[in-house]
Amino acid sequence: MPLPSCDLIYVHGAWKAPIAAAEPIPVFSPVTEEVIGTVAACGPQDVDAAVAAARAAFPAFSASSREERLALLGRILALMEERAEMLAQVISQEIGCAITFARNAHVPFGLAHVRAAIEVLRDFRFLSQQGTTAIAREAIGVCGLITPWNWPLYQITAKLAPALAAGCTVVLKPSELSPFSAQLLAQIIEEAGTPPGVFNMVTGTGEVVGAAMAAHPDIDMISITGSTRAGVLVAQAAAPTVKRVTQELGGKSPNILLDDADFARVVPLGVAAGMRNVGQSCSAPTRMLVPQSRLAEVEQLAADAANALVVGDPAQEATDLGPVANRNQFDKVQQMIGIGLAEGARLICGGPGRPEGVERGLYCRPTIFTCPDHRMAIAQEEIFGPVLCIIPYADEEDAVRIANDTVYGLGAHVQSGDLDRARRVAGRIRSGQVHINHPAWDGFAAFGGYKQSGNGREYGRFGLEEYLETKAILGFYPQ
């Protein structure tokens, strides 16, 4: 299907050209490496206009009733469901993920965030009693949302849905590398009857638009998902205006396979989890920690699982992994594979370059290393591609030590045949989420990081609360 034009931005309920004329940013297909469209390159003036629109709309929208906001979110959800296939097709084209994965993960998870916001809003207590004091939860104000290219719809709805549920107005900056699904969502939001100024979208680079949003005195909160480097820059720019900053940043999540796990089951599942979305997930479990005595067994199981993955045209139903999403990421993955080889990590499968027979496109080979030293760069740095590190450990204590020996703390996995044992290990891991025995995804579970993986939480009630201020009114209730 043809991709939509992105040369206009959405401000105060209307599609407009950027104020300052600038050369549009080209968007490249990861499959063909050719230009498939452009996106408007906005400047600080466009950010000013969007923020002004959001500021003007805030008093009325923050005072809207619960029922009005539920109705708005319900209309947005219905339109997203109606256009689910269109959204999946666009996401597959702009980031190169397999169309089956776009249909089965990207779009359903994006929809789930809207459903979760509706369910949480329906019963949320914005006013509660504490003795004679009232505790009021009020919309924080104008929110700047900065979202990444790797999960373009899912990351937007994880922020936008709770922000609207809270009564906030927003300015969205989607990634300039995957802007087309964001434009479709903006069209849906307009068609749903969102009041002018409640939702605004400006496009462009993080260095220009993201920086202007972070520093803007009339933005009350910034929510960013991106690299740790980007999160640090946003926090620094936001500091002089003392706005709230929530960050969901990088990760290098461990997957601990305890010695009583069903290895024939959990090793292939671990490989699939680490390489989902072509490994371009901040919480992907890309460090597989295994008992030293079972290393050879795990290596064989992991290699078999990786070699069975079908890498190819994302439009084909049989494809498991398409290309990585952009040239910078392809180059980073290739560089890190080279570093792993230079460090002396043992290559189990995959390796540098494209898969055999593939001459164009940003395709990477599903790659697995065994790292005898967990401090190796490929076992510490976020690669963001289909690269998995197997790390042997001596005993359970050693496994926990290795799992926590990282600057990140976003996600973790524990596999065990003994649930109580898995729970004990999970309780010792320093990360915002821990998955025991590959459970189903939970859109209401708090998601966010310890350490350099960020601040704040998203999803469900936890996500809504990030967009609220807390006010105590003493003497509100009679003694």
Dist. CA 387–CA 378, nearest whole Å: 9
> Burial code of 111-145, b = ≥16 C-beta within 10 A, e = fewer?
bbbbbbbbbbbeebeeeeeeeeebeebbbbbbbbb
Instruction: Give the pairing of strands 287-291 and 254-257.
Output: parallel
Q: Which tokens in the block code for residue 169?
A: 């107005």
Dist. CA 399–CA 391, nearest whole Å: 9
Q: Are 205 and 228 in contact (CB under 8 A)?
A: no
> 185, 1, 205, 176: which is closest to 93 by C-alpha?
1
Per-residue CA distances from 289 to 113, 243, 395, 424 (Å)? 31, 39, 11, 17
* Chain mean position to CA 465: 19
Strand partners, 225: 248
Q: Which tokens in the block code for residue 471?
A: 């006010």
Q: How many CA atoms lie within 13 A of 293 on its CB side?
A: 6
389 is catalytic: no
23 is catalytic: no
Dist. CA 444–CA 441, nearest whole Å: 9
* Chain mean position to CA 447: 10
Q: What share of the chain is helix, strand, coil (3-state, %, to 5)?
A: 45, 20, 40
Dist. CA 365–CA 378, nearest whole Å: 16
* Chain mean position to CA 232: 17
Question: Which of 248, 299, 382, 466 does the annotation list as catalytic?
Answer: 248
What sections of 276-372 are H helices per DSSP?
295-307, 327-343
* Chain mean position to CA 454: 12
Q: Are 114 and 62 in contact (CB under 8 A)?
A: no
Q: Specify the residue for token string 């104000």.
A: 141
> Burial code of 239-249, b = ≥16 C-beta within 10 A, e = fewer?
eeeebbbbbbb
Question: Which of 42, 97, 282, 349 does the annotation list as catalytic?
Answer: 282
Active site residues: 248, 282
